[in-house]
Structure 1
Amino acid sequence: MQIKAKPLTPEDFAPFGDVLDASGAPDKIINQGLCGRFHDRARLDFADGRAGISIFKAAPRALPCSCDLLERHPEGSQAFIPMSAEPFLVIVAPDEGGRPGAPRAFLTNGAQGINLLRGTWHGVLTPLAEPGLFAVIDRIGPGANLEEYPLAAPFSVLA
């Protein structure tokens, strides 16, 4: 199977999470008029834990890209904020009775991050250029917060 990656938009991504960017007018002007605040852009959600910030460094990939594993985090949302202005690939799938449904793929524009809602099936972190450096905000707490689903038939994502 092959799927085509679409540009990441808040409307198309809403069932899976939030697009984090500074588009449109800021919600507030702060710092003596020198800073626009785009306020409360992510639906962070953590069970029995707290929010933590980690730094991930992932090897870049190229399109077309093969996907053979989806994962989800049942105990908390997970936000990926790139630390460079490079696009990255986002693969998500709806839940269908505890397993991933039909996958969808999105390409960020280099100035977007994402927040995946708790329990959203998604592909692994897939930067498309060096350095592949991301700040990740997710749940720190007791118990397992990772469920992996190896795909019997991998699929390819095209640009």
Structure 2
Amino acid sequence: MTDIVTKPLTQSNFSPFGDVITLRDTPDKIINQGLCGRHHDLADMDFGDGRAGLSLFDAEPRSLPYKLTLLERHPDGSQAFIPMTQHPFLVIVAADAGGKPEVPQAFLTAAGQGINFHRNVWHGVLTPLHAPGLFAVIDRIGDGANLEEHTLKTPFRIVCA
């Protein structure tokens, strides 16, 4: 089994796959009588011919090293994961190679970071590392199958840097 070492999640190293959702250094606008900073338009959400849906996911935490056996993608829309705790989580992505995922990459989020997978990006399943694994998820609701899964013939082991 090949090891993949995690990297910290930054917009520059994650940009081929999606967006890092996090506070900017300064808000775009101050609202609510000066008591709230608005950090506006943090992700490139894409719902194709569907609509935005908001769901809550309550995932069981995993641990490192993590055995990766499955990648999935959503051909009809983006998918954003916003943690509802301050715990980091594991993010796994892979570039596409003719309809199949290439060798995956793994990232560890910092506390308070969320992510948005762009449409058709291969990614691992939701992988919180702490309980509770509670996330707000914004993704496409609409007709058609918006899920493609790929079981890996040879698993990878994700290890911490």
* Partner in structure 1 of residue 82 of structure 2: 81
Deviation per CA, 1:129-152, whole angstroms, max 9, x where unpaired? 000000000000001000000000
Q: How big is the shift at 1:54?
A: 0.4
Q: Does 1:105 align with 2:106?
A: yes
- Aligned letter for 2:154? A
Q: Secondary structure at the match of 2:12?
A: helix
Deviation per CA, 1:35-64, whole angstroms, max 9, x where unpaired? 111110010011221000000010001111
Deviation per CA, 1:65-116, whole angstroms, max 9, x where unpaired? 0100000000000000001111100000001111101210000112100000
Q: How big is the shift at 1:23?
A: 3.4
Q: Does 1:42 align with 2:43?
A: yes
Q: Specify every segment of 5 or more residues in structure 1 that has no aligned partner in the other structure, as ranges.
A: none
* Partner in structure 2 of residue 54 of structure 1: 55
* Partner in structure 1 of residue 137 of structure 2: 136
Measure the CA separation in 2 of the matches of 1:40 and 1:92: 23
Q: Secondary structure at the match of 2:145?
A: coil
Q: Specify every segment of 5 or more residues in structure 2 that has no aligned partner in the other structure, as ranges.
A: none
* Partner in structure 2 of residue 124 of structure 1: 125
Measure the CA separation in 1 of the matches of 2:37 and 2:106: 30
Report sequence identity in percent. Answer: 65
Measure the CA separation in 1 of the matches of 2:97 and 2:38: 37
Measure the CA separation in 1 of the matches of 2:153 and 2:139: 28
Give TM-score scaled by structure 2 length: 0.97
- Aligned letter for 2:10? T
Q: How big is the shift at 1:28?
A: 1.2
Q: Secondary structure at the match of 1:90?
A: strand
Q: How many residues align?
A: 159
